Each structure stands twice: as structure tokens, then as C-alpha cells.
């Protein structure tokens, strides 16, 4: 299985998980409306998970030099900024999706939400 197939498989699994949360709690006409948001949230979650693993394995910082003549300096790795961008977009989409849920369902989901590294 290549990387794209693995990515798509994980996205499909996350899409199914999110769809289950909304199916039955959101009218069918609204489900059609939020399907794109669910797909995008699924992609972002998998991208964030992959980025998080990379950050944990390789660290947040790296030594960087513009040329062989200059002294290397420590800088934040580009993946760290990308993770922050993914996270911001993901949070916005999840907030938008949550607005379609009835308040009692939204409250129940907040109570059972994983924290920290439990997301992986």
C-alpha cells in the first residue's frame, strides 16, 4: 500500500467516525450540506496526526544555515508552523460542524472528547 492509499484509508475511517456523530442528529438536508466539511475535517485530522508524529520523532527545532560559510542557527522546523495552520483550520471546521448539532448532543460530545495525545 502506498502513502496515498494509506492516507485515503485513514481519511475514510475518520470520515465514517465523524459521519456517525452527525447521522441521526442532523436532518438529511443539512447532512448533504455538511458532508464537504466532514471530508475536509477528516483530511486535516490525518494530516495533523502525521505532522504530530514527525514533530515528536524529529523535534520542533533544527539547525539551519544559508550556506556553508555561515554558522548554522536553530530555527523552528517548517512542519511546526504547518501543524499550527492545520490545527487552526481543523478547529474552525469542527466549530462550524458542531453548530449543526442539537445543544444536548454537543454537550455530550464535549464530555467524552479525548485530550492531548489521545487523539492519535
Count how many domains the chain has. 1
Residue 119 within any structural domain of the chain: no
Is residue 50 domain-resident? yes
Look up residue 116 and give its DSSP letter. G
Residue that has been written with the C-alpha cell 495525545 in this structure: 117
Distance of CA 15 to the CA centre of its chain: 12
Count of CB atoms within 10 A of residue 9's CB? 12
Judge whether 97 lies within some domain.
yes
Q: Does any domain span residue 120?
A: no
- 110 within some domain: yes
CA distances from 20 to 2, 13, 17 (A): 27, 11, 5
Which residues are paired to 64 by β-bridges? 73
pTM of the model: 0.81
Digit-by-digit pLDDT tens for the chain (120 residues) are 789 999 999 999 999 999 999 998 999 999 988 999 999 999 999 999 999 999 999 999 999 988 889 999 999 999 999 999 999 999 999 999 999 988 877 676 666 666 555 544
The single-letter DSSP state of residue 96 is H
Which domain covers residue 45, as residue numbers? 3-114
Amino acid at each position: 500500500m502506498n502513502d496515498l492509499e494509506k492516507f485515503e484509508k485513514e481519511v475514510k475511517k475518520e470520515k465514517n467516525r465523524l459521519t456517525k456523530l452527525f447521522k441521526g442528529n442532523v436532518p438529511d438536508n443539512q447532512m448533504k450540506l455538511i458532508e464537504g466539511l466532514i471530508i475536509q475535517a477528516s483530511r486535516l485530522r490525518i494530516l495533523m496526526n502525521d505532522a504530530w508524529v514527525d514533530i515528536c520523532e524529529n523535534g520542533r527545532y533544527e539547525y539551519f544555515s544559508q550556506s556553508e560559510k555561515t554558522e548554522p542557527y536553530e530555527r523552528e522546523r517548517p512542519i511546526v508552523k504547518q501543524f499550527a495552520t492545520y490545527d487552526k483550520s481543523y478547529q474552525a471546521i469542527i466549530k462550524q460542524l458542531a453548530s449543526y448539532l442539537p445543544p444536548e448532543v454537543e454537550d455530550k460530545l464535549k464530555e467524552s472528547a479525548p485530550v492531548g495525545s489521545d487523539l492519535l
